[in-house]
Amino acid sequence: MKAEFDIPVITHYPQTPAIQVDAMVHSQPFVAKPDIQEPLGFPGELVEDWHDKAIDKMGELLGKYRSLQVFMDACVKCGACTDKCHYYLGTADPKNMPVARQDLMRKVYRRYFTFAGKHFPKLVGAVDLTEEVLDDWYKYYHQCSECRRCSVYCPYGIDTAEITMAGREILASVGVGQKYSNEIIGKVFKIGNNLGLPEPALVDTLEGLEEEVKEDTDVDVRFPVDQKGADILLVTPSADFFAEPHVDGLIGYAKVFHQAGISWTLSSHASEAANFGLFIGSQGNMQRVAMRIREAALELGVKRIVVGECGHAWRVAYSYWNTLIGPFDFLDPNYPAPQHICESTYDLIQQGALKFNKEENDDKVVTFHDSCNVSRASRMGNMPGGQYVIPRALIKASCNHFVDMRQETIHEGTFCCGGGGGLLTDDLVELRVKGALPRMQALHEVIEENEVTHMAAICAICKSQFTKVLPYYDLGMDMIISVHQLVGDALELGVER
C-alpha cells in the first residue's frame, strides 16, 4: 500500500533505530473547537491566562495523584525504558522515548515545584512553561497510547501513561483539547454511544443480525435490547454493532448466551462500553460516561453486568467502576461485578455447557494479540495471569491450530497495536502505521515460521487499528478477527445442553 510517508521496513530481527531528531515533530491531532470542548466542561479555546492556569492545574494534579509526584521525582535516567516504546521503535524520534516524554513535564515541574528549579533552573534542566513547550506537550502527549509497556521495564515502575494523562488533562483545562476523543465523549453524553447511533438504528441493526444468524444457522438467536428483568446486561463497544471484524464477535456472544440458555440484554441508554474519559485523563468525564451503565443496570433490573471485547473499556470497568459508579450491591453476589465476556464464556466451557466443532476453524492458523489495557492494567477471572490464560483457552477450545508470537511481545510485554489511547484517528495515520511496527514484526515472524493466517484480539480499538494498518505492511486487513468469532463459528448450536 502506498503512503505519503515512509513505511517502516520489517527486518529479520527486531532493531532499535538510530535517533532522528524531530522525526515526528509535524504530527499532531486536530484541536477541538469550542462546540466540542464546552459540553465536557473545558474552555472552548486557549484561555488568556493559560500559563498560570496550567501551573495551577499541575499543582492540583500533583496533590491529587501522589503517584504523579513520585514519577516526577523518581527517575534516575537509567535508560531501561528508552527502547521499549513502539512509537520510538517505529519513528526513531527521541522525544518518543518514554523518559524523554516524561521529561517534557518533568522540566516544567522542576521549574515551578522544586527549590533547585526555582533558583538554579539551568543546573537542574528546569524550563519555563512557554507556548513552545505547550505545543510540544500537545504533539508528544498525543504520540503516547498510554499502553504502560515502558513501566514494566522501569525499575521504579514509573508509568508514562499517567504522565500523558496528566499532560492531556492540563492541556484540556486551558482550552487545548483533542478533537477526536472529546467529540466522541460528547456523542456518548448526547446519544449513548461513540458512533452516535440512535435507538431506532440500533434496534434495526440488531434485527438485521438476527436474520443473518437465522440464515446461516437456521437457529433463532436473539439480540435483545432494553429487555427488563434479563439476567445479564451486556455492555459492548458500539463498533461491535456493525464494524468488521467486531460484529462477528457480537454474533459469537449472542450464540454463547443462546446455547447456554442465559437471558441477556443490551441497553439503548448504555450502548457503549468504551470510555474515552480515560484517555483524556478526566475522571469527571469518565464517571459521567460510565454512569449510564449503572443507570441502565438499575432500570433494567439485571443481576449481572458483562463487558464485551474492548481493552480500555475493561480497564475502566475492572479498575475504576467500583469507585466511579459502585457499589454493585444490587447485583448477584455469586458473580464478579463486572465480568468480562471471555470470563463468562470460559466458565460456561468449564461447566460443560458449550460444545465445539473445532474443525469449523481448520482453515485458520491463529495467533493472539494481547491488548495493552487488558494485559497491563487489569485482570480476568480468579487466577493470576487470567487475562492471558482465558482468551487463549477460548481460542484453543474453538481452534485446532494456535501459536503464540515471540515471548517478549506477548503477555505483560505485549506491544500496543499503535492506535490506542485516543489515537485511532485519521489525522494520525502516519503515527499509527509506524507505531504498529513492533507488532507487525512479531506477527511476520509467526507467519513465516508457522504459517499463521489470522490474529485474534479482544479489543475494539486493536481490531480497527489492525484493519487499517495491516495493508501498509502488505498483509490482508481480514487477518484480524474477534476471539468470539472463533468461538461462535465453532460452537455447536441446537445440540443438547
DSSP letters spanning 240-289: GGTSTTHHHHHHHHHHHHHHHT--EEB-STT-----TTTTTT-HHHHHHH
Q: Specify whether the CB–CB gap between 388 and 411 falls below 8 A.
A: yes
DSSP β-ladder status, 339-340 and 304-307? parallel
Least distance from ligand SF4 to the Cβ atom of residue 111, Å: 19
Compute the C-alpha angle 297/374/389, nearest 5°: 105
Minimum distance between the CB of residue 143 and ligand SF4, rounded to whole angstroms?
8
Q: Can you give the C-alpha Rg of the chain in angstroms? A: 23
Q: Which is nearer to ligand SF4, 180 or 223 (CB)?
A: 180
What would the grid cell of residue 179 be?
478533537
Smallest separation, CB 214 to ligand SF4 (Å): 43
* In the complex, minimum distance from the CB of residue 114 to ligand SF4, in angstroms, rounded to a whole number: 17
Can you tell me which residue has the cell 474492548? 310
State the nearest-atom distance from the C-beta of 116 to ligand SF4, in Å.
18
At 14, is the secondary structure helix, strand, or coil? Answer: coil
Query: Residue 155 or residue 476: which is nearer to ligand SF4 going by CB?
Result: 155
Nearer to ligand SF4, 77 or 228 (CB): 77
Q: At 299, which helix (H) or strand (E)?
A: helix 283-300
Q: In angstroms, give the least distance from the CB of 144 to ligand SF4.
A: 3
DSSP 3-state assignment of 333?
Answer: coil
Residue 20 Cβ vs ligand SF4, minimum distance, rounded to whole Å = 17
- Min separation Cβ 204 and ligand SF4, Å: 38
Nearer to ligand SF4, 164 or 344 (CB): 164
Q: Which is nearer to ligand SF4, 347 or 427 (CB)?
A: 427
Cell of 387: 487475562
Q: 264, 65, 260, 256: which is closest to 165 by C-alpha?
A: 65
Task: Give CA–CA dist 420/314, Å, rounded.
Answer: 13
Q: How far apart are CA 497 and CA 494, in angstroms?
A: 8
Q: Residue 84 or residue 468: which is nearer to ligand SF4 going by CB?
A: 84
| First-to-last C-alpha distance (Å) of the chain | 47
Closest CA to 105 of 45, 49, 158, 28: 158
Least distance from ligand SF4 to the Cβ atom of residue 157, Å: 8
d(CA 38, CA 32) in angstroms, rounded, equals 10
- Contact residues: ligand SF4, CB under 6 A: 75-81, 84-85, 87, 98-99, 101, 144-150, 154-156, 158, 160-161, 164, 416
Q: Write down the H helix ranges in 5-49.
A: 34-37
Q: H helices of 124-192, where?
A: 131-140, 149-153, 160-173, 179-190
When the beta carbons of 209 and 316 are compared against ligand SF4, the nearer one is 316
Closest-CA residue to 136 (of 176, 84, 85): 176
- Collapsing DSSP to helix, strand or coil, 454 comes out as strand
User: Between residues 83 and 231, which has the closer beta carbon with respect to ligand SF4?
Assistant: 83
Measured distance CA(349)–CA(417) in Å, rounded: 29
Three-point CA angle 209, 478, 210, nearest 5° = 5
Name the residue nearer to ligand SF4 (CB basis): 144 or 250.
Answer: 144
In angstroms, give the least distance from the CB of 252 to ligand SF4. 29
**CA 114 to CA 134: how far, in whole Å?**
20
Nearer Cβ to ligand SF4, position 50 or 279?
Answer: 279
Closest distance to ligand SF4 from the beta carbon of 295 (Å): 32
- Residue whose CB is less far from ligand SF4, 159 or 489: 159
